[in-house]
A and B are shown apart, each in its own frame.
Chain A
Amino acid sequence: QKEVEQNSGPLSVPEGAIASLNCTYSDRVSQSFFWYRQYSGKSPELIMSIYSNGDKEDGRFTAQLNKASQYVSLLIRDSQPSDSATYLCAVQGDSSYKLIFGSGTRLLVRP
């Protein structure tokens, strides 16, 4: 079992819709959770970080964390074609500073 799992996609949504990206992780002691966006041929850039159970909103992005169920999700409201990218979920444990990444979900937003 992979430590961080994501559906590879592609997830295709129409412009203006809500895109929902999900991630599960196996290490129960994980403390910090991140969503990175990666455009093709580019390096990852941080979208959201979340540390506590519940929702965290930043503009059109909402991260949701449920530690009991060991999942973290990212919602993108009013999706735009410019949101088309691969979204990487990353998890950090409490005793290590390295990030464990999922393999990413490719999002396509259709105009």
Chain B
Amino acid sequence: GAGVSQSPSNKVTEKGKDVELRCDPISGHTALYWYRQSLGQGLEFLIYFQGNSAPDKSGLPSDRFSAERTGGSVSTLTIQRTQQEDSAVYLCASSLVPVQGQETQYFGPGTRLLVL
């Protein structure tokens, strides 16, 4: 079976432009997460979706960041008016169910975003 897929793999944009990053989770996984990883740093949580519940947006760094998950599957992370500090690798992960022992998060290959 396919793993988590993300697109694009690389994105170069100009400061002030909007970007959309896509994540396709593992089929059947109900939980979906977005993280970002700046150069040489650990992963920073951004947002979490679980089924039809309201998402946990507590990690979004500003109101320029938003995400949605349509039909409980594919998710899109949108960054409006990009800034140079938004440059990072954006990683998506999915897990089967949020139950201890089954909550292992599997990561996609990431989208490398560079804001010039």
Contact = CB atoms under 8 A, between A and B. Distances in A.
Contact of B105 (A6, A42, A99, A104): A99
Given A51-B100, A88-B42, A92-B103, A43 B59 contact: no
A69 interface: no
Interface in A66-95: 88, 90, 92
Given A32-B100, A46-B106, A99-B35, 15 more contacts: A32-B103, A44-B91, A46-B105, A51-B100, A96-B56, A97-B31, A97-B103, A98-B48, A98-B58, A99-B105, A100-B45, A101-B44, A102-B42, A103-B40, A103-B41
Given A32-B100, A96-B56, A98-B33, A45 B107 contact: yes
Contacts of B44: 101
A49 interface: yes
Given A43-B91, A98-B59, A103 B101 contact: no
Interface residues of B, number: 27
B107 A44 contact: yes
Interface of B: 31, 33, 35, 40-45, 48, 50, 56, 58-59, 91, 95, 98, 100-101, 103-110
A6 B14 CA distance: 35
A49 B43 CA distance: 17
Given A43-B109, A45-B107, A97-B31, A88 B43 contact: yes
